[in-house]
Structure 1
Amino acid sequence: ADRPDAPDPAAPAVVAAHAASKGRYGSRKIKASLERSGVTVSRRRVCRIMGENGPVGAYGGKRSRVRPGAADGADVPNVVARGFGGRAPRTHICSDLTYVRAGASWNYVCLLVDLYNREIVGHSAGPRKDARLVKSAFATLSFPISDIEVFHTDRGSEFDDAEIDLMLEAFGIERSLSARGSPATTPSTSRPTGY
């Protein structure tokens, strides 16, 4: 006759370890915690027990901290003015930074997007959110930088930098900054750009 499966004898230890971590531990840390207590259990088994009993670990444990700062007061016009369409190829480039988890730390990604067709035309990644990361993205362009007429960004400190100013000036590129408190994003499309 069919009878219900017996409860897993490791279930109380898994639930207790999760509760002791104040709901923060995922399967890996619970497995390690149990091993320190002398209980040997596979990570797959811990996952199954957590799925059956409801505990869920907090993702990552660390989050990228947003560092408060004064709003950029640079007196630079908003040339694009949310007019993201109808641009000639390679003439109007928009940029923004995001961060991704890489092992135990955060890395930053800078993307250069052509407003003509929302194509990513340049990119860079690194551990620091600074002007060098932005300049590295320009170094990956597959066309001459002199084709660019307008470079549009938000008012982040990584874009408001003397190195960026010198580069733009050298190639005759006009700077465009979004309004204060407004990101340099394009309207949502079917493509996953967001820039």
Structure 2
Amino acid sequence: MRCVHEKSLKCRFIKDHQQLFAVRSRCRVLEVSVSSYYAWTQRSESNRSKESLTLTRHIREIFDNSHQTYGNPRIAATLWRLGLNCSRCREARLMRRMGIRSRMARKFKITTDSNHQEPVSPNLLEQDFSAQLPNTVWTSDITYLRTESGWQYLTVILELFNREIIGYSLSSRVTTETTVIPALDMAVLHRQPRAEGSFFIRIEAVNTPARISGKSLRSTKWS
């Protein structure tokens, strides 16, 4: 085993200094046959190719699992935790060869502001999210979706009687005109609630850029 290790070290030295000395000269000085050196080179390149394939597979998996936001440092740290030995330079070279590059995560945009002078609506539900009859209680919610083109805002109107989504809207801007109002219009068109005994939310328009506050909503009898 020691002899094999010494031979491998000699071959590595010859390969690392191939720009300075002729291969035959170095093989003669280090007492390594030329055929043995080239056989070692082929084995070494074959093993390195296998390592590169393994690393490439793991790099792709780590990159995709991070939603393509991990760059060289974090991928290298993840490889190290997996027990895979890979230098930063080699990893960067493999990433370039694979044509992958991390994307900067877009900064989350705050769209609500509790520091305002708008009237606050009473809590009519008081955490009781149940309904005995259809078209008596509707609720709404906004979900933030990160996309390639930026943040999108999905507004849904939920019928609490059977937990059915009866209206929705998708917009790139957070205003009453682009979120709640079109979703509510769809819900009214879809369900056509009767005037008596039904409630809906009337939007008191607040012309503040990029903001819609639930505290500016007022519950009113359907009319």
Q: TM-score range by the shorter chain?
A: 0.5 to 0.7
State yes or no: 1:157 paired with 2:157.
no
Gaps of 5+ in 1: 24-33, 48-56, 175-195
The equivalent residue for 2:142 is 97
Contact in 1 for aligned 2:111/2:212 (Cα 8 Å): no
Code of the residue aligned with 1:157 in structure 2: it is I
Q: CA RMSD in A?
A: 4.4
Deviations for 1:87-132, whole angstroms, at most 9, x for unmatched residues?
3101110011111122130010110001111110110010111111
Sort the Cα spacing of 1:84 and 1:11 in 2 relative to 1 into closer, same or farther, 3 A.
Answer: closer
State yes or no: 1:18 paired with 2:54.
no
Contact in 2 for aligned 1:134/1:159 (Cα 8 Å): no
The CA distance in 2 between the partners of 1:67 and 1:93, in whole Å, is 23
Gaps of 5+ in 2: 1-45, 60-70, 78-91, 204-210
Deviations for 1:120-169, whole angstroms, at most 9, x for unmatched residues?
0110010111111211101212022555415499xx834455xx66xx75
The CA distance in 1 between the partners of 2:127 and 2:54, in whole Å, is 57
TM-score normalized by the length of structure 1: 0.52
The CA distance in 1 between the partners of 2:130 and 2:74, in whole Å, is 54
Deviations for 1:153-186, whole angstroms, at most 9, x for unmatched residues?
9xx834455xx66xx75xx349xxxxxxxxxxxx
Equivalences, count: 137
Contact in 1 for aligned 2:121/2:215 (Cα 8 Å): no
SS at match of 2:72: helix
1:1-195 superposed matches below 5 A: 6-8=50-52, 18-19=72-73, 41-43=97-99, 61-67=105-111, 69-71=113-115, 74-132=119-177, 133-141=179-187, 142-144=190-192, 148-151=198-201, 157-160=212-215, 172-173=221-222
The CA distance in 2 between the partners of 1:135 and 1:68, in whole Å, is 17
SS at match of 1:140: helix
Contact in 2 for aligned 1:84/1:115 (Cα 8 Å): yes
SS at match of 2:52: coil
SS at match of 2:191: coil
Sort the Cα spacing of 1:7 and 1:71 in 2 relative to 1 into closer, same or farther, 3 A.
Answer: same
Sort the Cα spacing of 1:104 and 1:110 in 2 relative to 1 into closer, same or farther, 3 A.
Answer: same
SS at match of 1:7: helix
Contact in 2 for aligned 1:123/1:136 (Cα 8 Å): yes
SS at match of 1:137: helix
Percentage of identical aligned residues = 16
Sort the Cα spacing of 1:111 and 1:173 in 2 relative to 1 into closer, same or farther, 3 A.
Answer: same
TM-score normalized by the length of structure 2: 0.46
Sort the Cα spacing of 1:149 and 1:68 in 2 relative to 1 into closer, same or farther, 3 A.
Answer: closer
The CA distance in 2 between the partners of 1:124 and 1:4, in whole Å, is 55
